[in-house]
Structure formats: structure tokens, C-alpha cells
Structure 1
Amino acid sequence: MQQREVTDQENTNWVCVQAFGGLKEEAAEEAADRIETEDGKVPVVCTPNGGAQTVRLQLDRNWLETYSDEQLLTAITEARAAA
């Protein structure tokens, strides 16, 4: 399972993983194909350490390779503000 870890300005460590990321690669790709939105987004769950609440995001399918830490933190911040 591939995941990304980022730390925000409040020193909260976020671990982000694509939904179905725990499946074998072939099964994960098939699941992503089925749940990908028309604009190429897939669900990503970011879980914090400490007291913050888990955040669910919709990110580009290739977010692991293309999103910078800053972009990922911005998405987390925006999702938290919208909740």
C-alpha cells in the first residue's frame, strides 16, 4: 500500500492513502477505475496523529506522484475548513 506522510504547521502528521490502497495492485487499479469521477478524481483518506479528525479528499488519480507536500496540505486544510 502506497501512502504519503506530510506534516502541517501545527506539527500534525498526516498519513494519506488512496481508498482501496490496501488491495493488491491489480485489484486496486480496477477499484480505482470504478470509483474515479468523470474529472479523474479518486477518494483519498488522510488520517492525523493526535486529536484532529480524519479528512476525506477527492484528488487527481496520480496524486502520489504529482502532488507536492504543500498541495496535499492545502487540500487537507480546505477539506477541514469545509467540514
Structure 2
Amino acid sequence: MPREVADAEGIRWSCIQAFAGLGKDAEKTEAARVEGAGNRFHVVCTPSGGAKSVRVELPGHWEKGLSDEELLRAIQDQLARDGA
């Protein structure tokens, strides 16, 4: 299930775990897991307006246990690394 957050500029980010659209079986969950990083998963966040999506690495509890501020910080940090 996607999670949405809005940043200070009013951009709404829709985030979903990578491969989530392929089903809930264990193989798909493992495909999204960050290799060698324990309980961390690849999550794709797409901004409103269709600009460039970013892929972030988040802890397994990101959907409910990560604050909006922490999620937005992860997005902004990745944008900075990508040179956006």
C-alpha cells in the first residue's frame, strides 16, 4: 500500500516498497530487501507532477514506524546524492 507525504514546497510524494505490485509472496519481499543490510528495503517515491522518482533504502517498519519527517529526509538526502 502506498504511503503519501508532502514536503515544505507542497510536493506530494507517493512511496511504495519496490516490487510491491508483483504480489505479497516471500520471493517478492526478498527482491525488495537491500542486500547485506538486514531489515532494510528498497522503496520508490514518486513526486506529484510526474517528476523524477527516487529509490531510497528504508527500515522494514517504514510504512508505519517512520515519521513523515524521516521519510522526507531520506527522499531529500537521495535527491542530493543523485544531484537533483
Tell me, which stretches of 5 or more residues in structure 1 are unaligned?
none
The equivalent residue for 2:2 is 3
Partner of 2:19: 20
Match of 1:50, SS? coil
Which of 13, 38, 41 in structure 1 is aligned with 2:36?
38
Gaps of 5+ in 2: none
3-state secondary structure, aligned to 1:22: helix
Q: TM-score, normalised by structure 2?
A: 0.83
Q: CA deviation at 1:21?
A: 1.1
Question: Percent of counterpart pairs with the same letter?
Answer: 41
TM-score by length of 1: 0.84
* In structure 2, C-alpha distance between the alignment counterparts of 1:11 and 1:34, rounded to whole Å: 32
How far is the alpha carbon of 1:16 from its aligned partner? Answer: 0.1
Alignment coverage as a number of residue pairs: 80
